[in-house]
Structure 1
Amino acid sequence: MSSSHTATVKVRFYELDPYDHVNHVNYLRYFETARVEFLSELGFGLDVMKDRDLAIVVVELHARFTGQAKLHDVIEVTTEVGEASGAVSTWHQRMTLDDDPIAEIDIKAAFTSLEGKARRIPPEFLEKVSPSPIT
């Protein structure tokens, strides 16, 4: 199984701000969607997690915006898991437009029960991901 995932997003008109480029909040949505797709690819789709009384929640994030996207642009979002131990994993995501970086995000996420109590990362999740930073 791959330790990275790439998702594609096409910018829609309602995601634009008054300056005709994607509002920063929508970049966070794109990142979230890409993480959920990656989790599904790893066998940890939201339905599977819910059935196992598991959730993965963002507890910290740092975002950098270095470019902009506009209507109809097709963006690629690459997602990788970095360190993972105990209940916490780190994630790095990069968004590109025509191979040019436009945004990056570093996330710390925790596995929890559906009630919000910390849970150890499942061993099968750890087996499927390995640290490999985006270069």
Structure 2
Amino acid sequence: MDTGRKHVHTSLIPIRWGDMDAYGHVNNTIYFRYFEQCRVEYLEKLGFAVAPQGSAPVIINAACTFLVPLNYPGVVEVRMFCGAPGRSSIPSSYEIRLQGQETLFAVGEAKIVWMDVASGKSVPIPEQLREELTAS
């Protein structure tokens, strides 16, 4: 994990019964949905709609390390962190715990890139977001 990271958002997400797999724990693909939900909430809180028009954030890679299985029922607490922004990209990382617990269940990472939707090319991160990420 990036040591220069800044905690930017926390999401609380109920574990749904349908998130479970045949082994009785949350399916590995669902963790990426938890990261995504936290990321979208953070960006929308700042006024950046995640919409297919103009310029918008996309991710170009994603990773997750599964440490302890999650099970239904429960509420996951997803903590999002961002590292220093580049011209058009932001490194993000995530921690998943159960609400009210300090046990780390999973950690993840994703690189967010700002993109012009029409051309598919990267564009500079909006200045408001850059300021938010570089403020102390």
TM over 0.5: yes
Instruction: Measure, in 2, the Cα distance between the counterparts of 1:72 and 1:105.
Output: 22
- Find runs of 4+ consecutive structure 1 residues off by over 4 angstroms: none
Alpha-carbon offset, residue 62 of structure 1: 2.3
Match of 1:13 in 2: 17
Instruction: Return 5+ residue gaps in structure 1 as ranges.
Output: none
Cα deviation digits, residues 47-104 of structure 1 (max 9, x gap):
5x84xx1121111222111011111111100011112111111001111122211111
Instruction: Measure, in 2, the Cα distance between the counterparts of 1:3 and 1:103.
Output: 16
TM-score by length of 2: 0.86
Cα deviation digits, residues 92-131 of structure 1 (max 9, x gap):
1111122211111111121001131111111111011238
> How many equivalent residue pairs?
128
TM-score by length of 1: 0.87
Instruction: Return 5+ residue gaps in structure 2 as ranges.
Output: 1-5
The 5 A counterparts of 1:25-36 are: 25-36=29-40
Instruction: Measure, in 1, the Cα distance between the counterparts of 2:132 and 2:109.
Output: 20
Match of 1:85 in 2: 86
Match of 1:72 in 2: 73
% identical aligned pairs: 28
